């Protein structure tokens, strides 16, 4: 029986706009298990990014309980939340946010350098990650010299270099054409399944969502 690593109990979240409260997520419950692919689907504005930000400790819910790795978030102080975000969660976004003046391998190295690794170790690890993503012959390219799909694969390599338990991906293929989307997704899903990483991915692409183990549908 796979381990439950994230549990959401009655999560609600509203935004205040012009003096009134706009509910975005209402009483959401979900159980997310280790090594599974969870697709977050729903129309634009339904709260997919909001939910990912709450799970990724970038934003907070207004009410409800979140259990991360068996601990209630309410009992995890800010310092520990920062460590969880850094060490256990990898993020991939629709636009890759790569540093334009840095090569592919330098971009992937950055999280390890920030952790205090020396350059050589970080470089070796970054190469391994880029190799997993099929980019061993593109490591010295600047982002502008890579295709959109290759740039997203670099962004995924950067997200996996700290060996996260969970990857949170917000429309990671949203800017790509159909074939490139499938290609990038295949790299991502092969890696997460092989490493028992949990993938929580918001997507408008129902074909990709249909491959998930579980769907969270927002309305
Ligand atoms: N900081 C904010 N302040 C006020 N309202 C916000 C804020 N962030 C998001 N919203 C609103 O919350 C709702 C949900 O936004 P969210 O970005 O989560 O939707 P989404 O499902 O990710 O949409 P998309 O598919 O377009 O990415 C939207 O109506 C949005 O306008
Ligand atoms: Mg969104």
Whether residue 30 is predicted with pLDDT greater than 90 in this model: the reply is yes
Q: Is 17 in the pocket of ligand 1 (CB under 6 A)?
A: yes
Protein residue whose Cα sits closest to atom 9 of ligand 1: 50
CATH code (residue 172): 3.40.50.300
Pocket test for ligand 1, best of 17, 45, 53, 217 (most atoms within 8 A of CB): 45
* Listed residue (87, 95, 18, 10) closest to 54, CA to CA: 10
CB proximity list for 192: less than 8 A, separation 6 or greater = 35, 37, 167, 198, 199
* Confidence (pLDDT) at 1: 78
Protein residue whose Cα sits closest to atom 16 of ligand 1: 47
pLDDT, mean of residues 20-35: 96
Q: How far does the centroid of ligand 1 lie from the alpha carbon of residue 137, in Å?
A: 38
**Each residue of 161-193: pLDDT tens digit?**
999 999 999 999 999 999 999 999 999 999 999
Q: Is 44 in the pocket of ligand 1 (CB under 6 A)?
A: yes
**Each residue of 4-23: pLDDT tens digit?**
999 999 999 999 989 999 99
Q: Which atom of ligand 1 is nearest to the CA of 16?
A: 4
Residue pair 168/56 in contact by the 8 Å Cβ criterion: yes
* Listed residue (170, 165, 163, 138) closest to 153, CA to CA: 138
Q: State the Cα–Cα distance between residues 7 and 127, nearest whole angstrom.
A: 34
Q: How far does the centroid of ligand 1 lie from the alpha carbon of residue 46, in Å?
A: 7
Q: How many domains does the chain have?
A: 1
Q: Is 46 in the pocket of ligand 1 (CB under 6 A)?
A: yes
* Confidence (pLDDT) at 48: 98
CB proximity list for 204: less than 8 A, separation 6 or greater = 41, 44, 171, 174
pTM for this prediction: 0.96
Q: How far does the centroid of ligand 2 lie from the alpha carbon of residue 44, in Å?
A: 7
Tracing tokens 């939910």 back to the chain, one arrives at 51
Q: Is 23 in the pocket of ligand 1 (CB under 6 A)?
A: no
Average pLDDT value for the chain = 96
Whether residue 78 is predicted with pLDDT greater than 90 in this model: the reply is yes
Q: State the Cα–Cα distance between residues 203 and 43, nearest whole angstrom.
A: 10
Protein residue whose Cα sits closest to atom 17 of ligand 1: 49
**Residue 196 lies in domain:** 4-217
């Amino acid at each position: 029986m796979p381990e439950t690593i994230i549990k959401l109990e009655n999560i609600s979240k509203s935004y205040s706009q012009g003096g009134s409260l706009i509910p975005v997520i209402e009483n959401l419950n979900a159980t997310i298990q280790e090594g599974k692919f969870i697709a977050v689907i729903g129309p634009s504005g339904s709260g997919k990014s909001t939910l990912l930000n709450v799970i990724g400790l970038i934003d907070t819910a207004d009410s409800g309980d979140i259990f991360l790795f068996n601990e209630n978030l309410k009992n995890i102080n800010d310092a520990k939340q920062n460590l969880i975000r850094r060490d256990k969660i990898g993020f991939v976004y629709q636009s890759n946010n790569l540093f334009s003046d840095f090569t592919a391998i330098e971009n992937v190295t950055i999280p390890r350098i920030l952790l205090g690794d020396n350059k050589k170790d970080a470089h070796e690890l970054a190469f391994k990650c880029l190799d997993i993503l099929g980019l061993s012959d593109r490591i010295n390219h600047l982002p502008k010299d890579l295709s959109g799909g290759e740039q997203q694969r670099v962004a995924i390599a950067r997200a996996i270099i700290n060996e996260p338990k969970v990857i949170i991906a917000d429309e990671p293929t949203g800017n790509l054409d159909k074939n490139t989307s499938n290609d990038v997704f295949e790299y991502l899903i092969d890696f997460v399944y092989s490493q028992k990483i949990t993938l929580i991915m918001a997507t408008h692409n129902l074909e990709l969502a249909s491959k998930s183990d579980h769907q969270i549908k927002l309305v």
